[in-house]
């Protein structure tokens, strides 16, 4: 495939890595600085992205537009991209419910674009084998071809809009859902004074949970603000499938109580997380 111009909305850590992976295959990257924070501007400069200034200009100049943003913003971002009309392929690579993906598809196709549903599993793509971009829809194979032997593995799957999102949420319902559960369990045990006894029992019967519970604190607390919307999308998806949604609604509440750790220089301790999770009055202090 020849050079393709890719527009990134908006280049956070994950979005920047998607752009870098495509650039490794010889494609050009654009971003839109209008209304973005200074930290986003610094990240875009560090990733050597070309500034199209506005979303409208980015859409007009791009062959493929990638949306990589917090899930609560995905539909509104699609509407902003579609407002001037578009002929590009629009890839929504956010952790949204299948129903949300289908709504975004309607917005994009009504505006004249082609829609590809995407779901990213893994960390920001730095090394081959760490991160997979699942894609569904008529143009999925075309988008997958943008990523050759670089760090991001793009995988088309069967199905239309919603299939890749369903796979992403099914995966995250376990990984991020159980991380929230483990943090809640450790917090409960500490409040009841049995944390040391619980760890001793886990060491005997479920030894992997000792490290996993500590890892849940280190790995999720500073990113918890991003996981609130993802857990809510999972809850809605479970409800749409006729399944109870309460577990992931609770996980969203737990992550919401950790949202103030966004930008913290170091991960909090289990003791600090216990205080945050057991404080029902805590409100989120982040800006999405």
Q: pLDDT tens digits for 95-112?
A: 999 999 999 999 999 999
What distance in Å separates the CA atoms of residue 272 and residue 1, rounded to the nearest whole number?
51
Of the listed ranges 170-179, 215-224, 260-269, 276-285, the least confidently predicted one is: 276-285
pLDDT of residue 35: 87
| 29-51 pLDDT tens trace | 999 999 888 888 888 888 888 99
- How confident is residue 84, by pLDDT bands cut at 50, 70 and 90? confident
Q: Tabulate helix, strand, coil % of the chain (nearest 5).
A: 55, 15, 35
Using the predicted structure, report yes or no on whether residue 283 has a pLDDT greater than 80.
Answer: no
pLDDT of residue 148: 87
Q: What is the mean pLDDT of the chain?
A: 93
Q: Which of the two residues, 216 and 287, has the higher pLDDT score?
A: 216
Percent of the chain's residues with pLDDT above 90: 83
| Cα–Cα nearest to 172, from 220, 138, 129 | 220
Give, as one character, the DSSP assignment of residue 90.
Answer: E
What distance in Å separates the CA atoms of residue 205 and residue 150, rounded to the nearest whole number?
41
Nearest-5° angle of CA 118, CA 255, CA 192? Answer: 145
CATH class of the domain whose range is 166-277:
mainly alpha
Q: Are 266 and 256 in contact (CB under 8 A)?
A: no
Using the predicted structure, report yes or no on whether residue 75 has a pLDDT greater than 70.
Answer: yes
Task: Give the start-to-end residue ranges of the domains of the chain.
Answer: 5-158, 166-277
Name, in order, each residue with C-beta under 8 angstroms of 286's C-beta and a sequence gap of 6 or more: 225, 259, 260, 262
- How confident is residue 185, by pLDDT bands cut at 50, 70 and 90? very high
Q: Where are the beta strands (DSSP E) in the chain?
A: 5-9, 28-31, 50-51, 64-67, 89-92, 114-121, 131-136, 152-156
Phi, psi of 8 (to 5 degrees): -110, 120
- How confident is residue 288, by pLDDT bands cut at 50, 70 and 90? very low
Q: Pull the structure tokens for residue 11.
A: 């280049």
pLDDT of residue 45: 85
* Domain pair 5-158 / 166-277, same fold: no
What distance in Å separates the CA atoms of residue 225 and residue 262, rounded to the nearest whole number?
7
Using the predicted structure, report yes or no on whether residue 88 has a pLDDT greater than 60.
Answer: yes
What distance in Å separates the CA atoms of residue 286 and residue 281, rounded to the nearest whole number?
16
Q: What is the second-level CATH architecture of the domain 5-158?
A: 3-Layer(aba) Sandwich (3.40)
pLDDT of residue 46: 81
């Amino acid at each position: 495939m020849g050079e393709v111009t890719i527009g990134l909305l908006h280049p956070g850590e994950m979005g920047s890595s998607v752009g870098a992976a495509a650039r490794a295959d010889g494609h050009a990257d654009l971003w839109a600085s209008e209304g973005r924070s200074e930290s986003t501007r610094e990240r875009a400069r560090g990733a050597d992205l070309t500034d199209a200034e506005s979303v409208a200009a980015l859409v007009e100049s791009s062959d493929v537009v990638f949306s990589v943003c917090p899930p609560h913003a995905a539909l509104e971002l699609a509407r902003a991209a579609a407002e001037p009309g578009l002929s590009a392929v629009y890839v929504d690579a956010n952790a949204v419910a299948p129903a949300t993906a289908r709504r975004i598809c309607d917005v994009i196709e009504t505006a004249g674009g082609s829609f590809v549903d995407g779901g990213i599993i893994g960390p920001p793509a730095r090394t081959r084998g760490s991160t997979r971009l699942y894609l569904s829809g008529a143009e999925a194979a075309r988008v997958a071809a943008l990523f050759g032997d670089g760090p991001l593995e793009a995988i088309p799957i069967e199905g239309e809009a919603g299939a890749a999102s369903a796979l992403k949420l099914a995966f995250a319902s376990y990984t991020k859902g159980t991380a929230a559960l483990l943090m809640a369990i450790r917090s409960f045990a500490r409040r009841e004074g049995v944390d040391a006894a619980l760890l001793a029992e886990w060491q005997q019967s479920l030894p992997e949970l000792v490290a996993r519970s500590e890892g849940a604190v280190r790995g999720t607390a500073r990113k918890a603000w991003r996981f609130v919307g993802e857990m809510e999308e999972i809850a809605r998806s479970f409800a749409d499938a006729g399944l109870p949604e309460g577990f992931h609604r609770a996980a969203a509440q737990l992550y919401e109580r950790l949202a103030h750790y966004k930008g913290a220089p170091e991960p909090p301790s289990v003791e600090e997380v216990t205080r945050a999770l057991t404080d029902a009055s805590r409100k989120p202090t982040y800006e999405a």
